[in-house]
Amino acid sequence: MKYSKATNYALHSMVHLAMESNNEAVRVEDLAKHQRLSPTYLSKILTKLSKAGLITSTPGVKGGYRLLLSPEKCTFLDIIQAIEGHESLLNCTMSHDGKWNRDCLIERAVADAEDKMKDELAHKTIAGILNQMQERN
């Protein structure tokens, strides 16, 4: 299983926004430069985060992006789902005896594992990453 690069950039952008003192707005150009990305590409990612209610944007000279939620409430799951969506990893496509199996055992096995992963990601927060960064220094 692999998440898109956009998810990687979204997670790093959220950490960068959380590191801003006084929740100052950060320009997309600065976020893009920090990650060596095109501002246009990063803007599309930030738009998804904004639509998900995780960040807000302010237009103008002193505008930019800032967190809407505290770092303690920004979970990895919320960020990943804002970029990747809410679709399951696997949807059963097999039929048995000419009938679609409504209770596909393979799909259920993957869904059970996915639920465990979602639970773990729901407990990982941006604040947790910030704490780990401080411990390293």
47-96 residue pLDDT tens: 999 999 999 998 888 789 999 999 999 999 999 999 999 888 787 776 65
Per-residue model confidence (pLDDT) at position 15: 96
- What would the two tokens of residue 59 be? 């237009």
Strands (E) across the chain are located at 55-58, 64-67, 95-96, 99-100
**CATH code of domain 5-136:** 1.10.10.10
15-37 residue pLDDT tens: 999 998 787 899 999 999 999 99
- What would the two tokens of residue 14 be? 């959220």
Q: What is the pTM of this model?
A: 0.87
Q: Report strand pairing: 95-96 vs 64-67.
A: unpaired
Per-residue model confidence (pLDDT) at position 127: 96
Per-residue model confidence (pLDDT) at position 41: 97
Per-residue model confidence (pLDDT) at position 102: 62
| pLDDT class of 99 with cuts at 50, 70, 90 | low
